[in-house]
Amino acid sequence: MKLLVMSDSHRIMKHMRYAVDIAAPDAIIHLGDHISDALELSRQFPLITFYMVNGNCDGCSAGKNELLLELGGAVVFVTHGHKYGVKTGQSALINAARDKGATLALFGHTHKALLEQAPGGLWVMNPGQMMRHDSIVPASYGVVTIEGGELSCGIGYLPG
């Protein structure tokens, strides 16, 4: 199973569509800020399974703030991250993911791509942002492949 992970799209739909074309995923996870973008993208790609959570900019959206998914034998904790203080560190997020038995924790909010494996084997990924503030911070996304419960994770960057 191949997952495309995106966050902080902030109405930049062209980048999201481009990432879908590049990754050719089985499922897409949108980590919030703007969940409406994920809803619009899901209408454009009706054959792809979508999962999405609210971000801090999603206001009164009917979406959930967190998801715990079992995908391909892996347990995936999905959140935007603002409620876990991820701009100052990931320890609260990591503890919550471990408490839930997750093997992968996905978060956004910081607009900075991050991929690391915490002690004990928990993968932690922030796919970065689907928008681009300037020429220094490129639009980025995450790709996770799950086979038999084993994870392979990477960050991709969109060209110029």
Whether the predicted model's global pTM rises above the 0.85 cut: yes
Tens of pLDDT, residues 22-60: 999 999 999 999 899 999 999 999 999 999 999 998 877
**Mean confidence (pLDDT) of the chain:** 93
| Torsion angles phi and psi, residue 117, rounded to 5 | -110, 120
**CA 131/CA 24 separation, integer angstroms:** 20
3-class SS of residue 78: strand
Answer yes or no: is pLDDT of 151 > 80: yes
Q: What is the DSSP letter of 81?
A: S
Tens of pLDDT, residues 95-130: 999 999 999 999 999 999 999 999 999 999 999 999
- pLDDT at residue 134, rounded to an integer: 60
Percent of the residues in the chain that have a pLDDT greater than 90, as a whole number: 84
Structural domains present in the chain: 2-157 (3.60.21.10)
Contact by Cβ (8 Å): 130, 141? yes
Which two tokens mark 141? 């996304």
DSSP one-letter string for 91-157: HHHHHHHHHTT-SEEE--SS---EEEE-TTS-EEEE---SS-SSSSS--EEEEEEEETTEEEEEEEE
Tens of pLDDT, residues 67-96: 999 999 999 999 999 999 999 999 999 999
